[in-house]
Amino acid sequence: MATNNRTQGSGNQSFKQIEGEGWFSTYLPAISAGTVMAIVLFLAISCSKKSDNPSAKISAPAAPVATHSAPSTAAALVPEPPKKTKKHRPSNATYVSGTYGVSFSYPRKYSLEAGNGKSSAPVPAGFVKPGAVEIASVDMPDSLFSDTDFSAGLMNVSLNPGVTSEECAQFVASSADPKDAKPETVKIGSNEFTVLEQMSGELNRQTDIKYFHFFKNGACYEFALDVETSRKADEDLAQVDRGKVFQQLAKILTSARIKDVELPGVEAAQKTTVQEQPASDSKTENAQVMSSEKTLAPTAEQK
């Protein structure tokens, strides 16, 4: 009986041991699977948190690009200042005399000197009577015709209120002029001039002047174009083409305009001219005055 009890007791222990080993072996796979799933879930959560962190993104270098684009956007919003256009200075200048009604255009590189209302002028006047009044003069630069004997080229403008229209078509005689030199009528621009050319001087220094007379406003207007040449005996210089110099000066004369104005001193000069004429009788004096008025009438219509 004792033997059986031991046998039964040992059998119970064996049963309990087998029963304990069966539970562990039964739930071990489930425990392992749960552990693996927990680890995988933990890793997934960790990866998702890292992906949500902006500093961990691969596109992090895009931040400097956005920084550079901000100033360009701001600069695009600010309007650019308008570009300043260069104003080209005209090559010609215009001289206008309201007192004498004379205007003309001349190259800006030339020098202009307005007259002082006196008889002093760089060119001797070609009027047959004294009383010339200088208006203005234009002088060409000396370097315009370099390496030649050119020394001066200018246009002088003056008027004489003490001459009649017939006397305006005449010129003072020059000792250097040939006897057969006669005035000519030439239309330049909008004006019809009476022209006479006079030359004087020696071989090394010569003066060539062309006088242009035009009667208007009860006075005789004179445009004198002067070309001067000079050289020393030991200088080897080419002769300047005077025709080209006169062409440059004639361009100024072509632009000349004379408006209808009341010139100062014209009435006094006309009275002096009438008083100087011999008065044989009243009929002759009246005829002379009428003749003068008939002469002035057509010229006043010229423009």
Give Cα separations from 11 to 14, 16, 204, 272 (angstroms). 5, 9, 161, 176
Q: Of the spans 147-151, 202-206, 281-285, which averages the highest pLDDT?
A: 147-151
DSSP assigned state of 148: B
Across 6-27, average pLDDT: 53
CATH hierarchy code of domain 101-296: 3.40.1000.10
Lowest mean pLDDT among 75-89, 209-223, 268-282: 268-282
**pLDDT of residue 51 exceeding 90:** no
- Backbone phi and psi for residue 71, each to the nearest 5 degrees, phi listed first: -65, -40
Per the model's pLDDT, the better-predicted residue between 159 and 7 turns out to be 159
3-state secondary structure of 2: helix
Sign of the Cα pseudo-torsion (50, 54, 56, 62, in order):
positive
Q: What does the alpha-carbon distance between residue 106 and residue 115 come to, in Å, rounded to a whole number?
A: 16
pLDDT, tens digit, for every residue of 206-245?
999 999 999 999 999 999 999 999 988 778 889 999 999 9
Boundaries of every domain in the chain = 2-58, 101-296
pTM of the model: 0.60
